Amino acid sequence: MTENNADALLRVNHLAKHFPIYRQGFLRKRVVNHVRAVDDISFHIRQGEVLGLVGESGCGKTTTGRLILRALDPTAGEVLFRDANLGQVDLAKLPRAEMRTVWQNIQLIFQDPYSSLNPRMTLEQIVSEPMQNYQKYAPAQRRDKVAEMLQLVGLRPEYMSRYPHAFSGGQRQRIGIARALALHPQLVICDEPVSALDVSVQAQILNLLQSLRAQLGLTYLFISHDLSVVRHLSNRVVVMYVGKIVEVASTEALFTDVQHPYTSALLASAPTPDPRAKRNSKPLAGEVADPANPPRGCYFHPRCPFAQERCKVEPPPLREVKPDHWASCHFSEKLALQH
Amino acid sequence: MNDNNVLLEVKNLRVSFALTEATVQAVDGVTFTIEAGKTLGIVGESGCGKSVTARAILGMVRPPGRITAGEILYHGKSGAPVDLAKLPPNSQEIRSVRWGDIAMIFQEPMTSLSPVHTIGNQMIEAIQLHKAVSKRDAEAISVDMMKRVGLPTPERLLSRYRHELSGGMRQRVMIAMALTCSPRLLIADEPTTALDVTTQAQILDLMRELQAEFQMAIMFITHNLGVIAEMADEVIVMYLGKEVEVADVDTIFHNASHPYTQALLRSIPRHDVVVEQLATIEGTVPDPTAIPSGCAFHPRCQHYQRGVCKVPSLIELSDNHYVRCARALDLKH
């Protein structure tokens, strides 16, 4: 994307991750194909904003988060991050040793609050572990710091000596948030942070994330399959489909003036909690394309109600169809999309 | 309500699980009816007893759980109603009702299908258990049902295994299997929770189509209020083993009277409405071994009044609108 992003904290350029598919040959395994989990995507995250990354399972949203963290090595592309200590660095090529420095500034909040906390560690150990790893604060100070973090996320500091099993899902997610924020990161990647929680607890965690962002001036990459959660929290939204970005816009523009048929279908499929608002469109037919064997042209064309001959042969580029509103569809301007 | 239309009556059902540390009252005196051809939605958070209620109807409560009280009257096509709660879990009678008259689909189609048998073998076995048909006829029925649920090339799918199918296709196979014996009631326990939204929309549409075609009732269990709004005619909101509000779907969403229902509706983010900050319900769902005394919701309720909120009974607020709240009448004004 060539838009003005001088204030970007993170810039992703032509990022790709192709996983090889092996088949056992006569003597050795050979690569027969690739799963294009993330396929040439570009976007940026501005300082202090919440960027929502939304799509269905297998669209590459989690892989994107992991590529930014370098939990996976990218196949191609750049991940430019304005690190507080190192200055502008390309995370895609940074040596592992230097990545370690960056990791204190990029933290992750996981989906599953049950498997992401070590059951044999107390809350104090869990939250102070990152401080130890990075030699932050004098050991004597760490206890106070943990207490402060717990208070920040709405847990009583007295709980410090307890183990995770004593807490409910929502409380565990708070512990995970305290751990992620212990080093005051610049960027927090939230990967489906409320999907595993009960409905009544989701709102508490969403409100907490919202107030922490304002209070600490955090920047979030918010990955979710849930459009309503993304709308509630994000300033801008990136929509992915089969490893590619199909639409990028401000949250307001995306939900009121959708430009890509896939986003439109996604919005129309989401059930509305109001029996008077009956869904009027037919659901999208067919299934998500296989990222190992995507269709020619636009990946969405076999399911697209507006597909034409051109869509079957020519892949649409992501282009600015309205000011600051990007979509990868040949016919955005000609379609009157709604949901 | 026309009595002739009643398909299933659940009266004062109680299911408890005797664990070593305590006895959990998973379902604590629930009463409801399901009418033929209608959809009853049961909504609630984890531990509210919605899935256990469904399992109790099918005689599928696993030990140490057991039905300790209540009746589950099934009004069959002919004769007197049968009390499913009294039938031994593995008796011939309950087996003929289960799958034959009442079928069930689950949240995880992955785990409800066998990994080592082909889709065809599983379907044919299920059909032959309930119908005296030859293997070839059973195969024909399977192919026909798979076509009805929109599965492509059903003949080829018969020889496939579950891991070769996508999540949406697996759930279609489960629905096809459930419908092979033309059940009068389909119990769907979170059938779309593990699916993507576009697939969810397809499955919900399919269920509605098949409901009209087969004239069957659906008991739809979910935690998703959006799905409930889209599917249900009547709704039961459950909290900690009890129904706290029962009404038609429009009343639940536009005139909810129980503080829990109201708070749930305010706390969900919506894709069609923007709010600055979400309302929250304080605290978390209590541990089922330590259910709060009095009204079980009182520690989280913003309308709690000392001395007033004793154990509330289900009161009829208006026509067919029931609420379990001691303050329901004075909160209405």
Q: pLDDT tens digits, residue range B248-262? A: 999 999 999 999 999
Candidate from A38-47, A94-103, A250-259, B89-98 with smallest mean pLDDT: B89-98
Q: Using CB atoms, which residue from A229, A255, A288 is nearest to B269?
A: A229
User: Could you tell me if residue B141 is inside a domain?
Assistant: yes
pLDDT at site B22 = 85
Residues A272-316 have pLDDT tens digits of 899 988 766 778 888 888 888 889 999 999 999 999 999 999 999
pLDDT > 70 fraction of chain B, expressed in percent and rounded:
98
Most confident of A20-24, A180-184, B18-22: A180-184
Residue among A193, A204, A271 at smallest CA distance from B225: A271
Task: Count up the domains in chain A and report the number.
Answer: 1
Q: C-alpha A81: how far from its chain's center?
A: 16
Q: Hey, how many other C-beta atoms are within 10 angstroms of the C-beta on A130? A: 18
Chain A residue with CA closest to B287: the answer is A168
Residue A193 sits in a domain whose CATH number is: 3.40.50.300
For residue A54, the one-letter residue type is: V
Q: Is it the case that residue A2 has pLDDT exceeding 80?
A: no
Show the domain range for B170.
110-180
Answer whether A338 touches B (CB < 8 Å): no
Of A283, A306, A307, the C-alpha closest to A295 is A307
Instruction: Report the C-alpha gap between B230 and A277 in whole angstroms.
Output: 8
Q: Do the Cβ atoms of B132 and B117 come closer than 8 Å?
A: no
Please check whether residue A274 touches B, CB under 8 A: yes
Q: Would you state the pLDDT for residue A101?
A: 92
With H, G, I as helix, E, B as strand and everything else as coil, classify residue A81. strand
Q: Do B196 and A225 touch (CB under 8 A)?
A: yes
Greatest mean pLDDT among A286-290, B28-32, B303-307? B28-32
User: What is the domain range of residue A51?
Assistant: 8-105+185-245
- What pLDDT does A6 receive? 64
At B89 the pLDDT is 76
Q: Hey, what long-range contacts does A297-303 have (CB within 8 A, 24 or more apart)?
A: A298/A328, A298/A329, A298/A330, A299/A241, A299/A242, A299/A243, A299/A244, A300/A241, A300/A242, A300/A246, A300/A261, A300/A262, A303/A262, A303/A265
As a whole number, the mean pLDDT across chain A is: 91
ipTM of the complex: 0.86
Domain presence at residue B156: yes
Query: Based on the structure, what is the number of domains in chain B?
Result: 1
Q: Which two tokens mark B323?
A: 């609420």
CB of B176 closer than 8 Å to CB of B123: yes
Whether the pLDDT of residue A338 is over 70: the answer is no
Q: Is residue B230 part of a domain?
A: no
**In the prediction, which pLDDT does B110 show?**
67
Percent of chain B with pLDDT over 90: 43
Give chain A positions within 8 Å (CB) of B152: none
Assess if residue B212 is contained within a domain.
no
**Chain B interface includes A87 (CB < 8 A):** no
Q: What is the pTM of this model?
A: 0.89
The answer to whether residue B234 sits within a structural domain is: no
Considering just the CA atoms, what is the radius of gyration of chain B in Å?
21
Residue A281 DSSP SS3 = coil
Whether B247 maps to a domain, the answer reads: no
B204 and A271 within 8 Å at the Cβ level: the answer is: yes
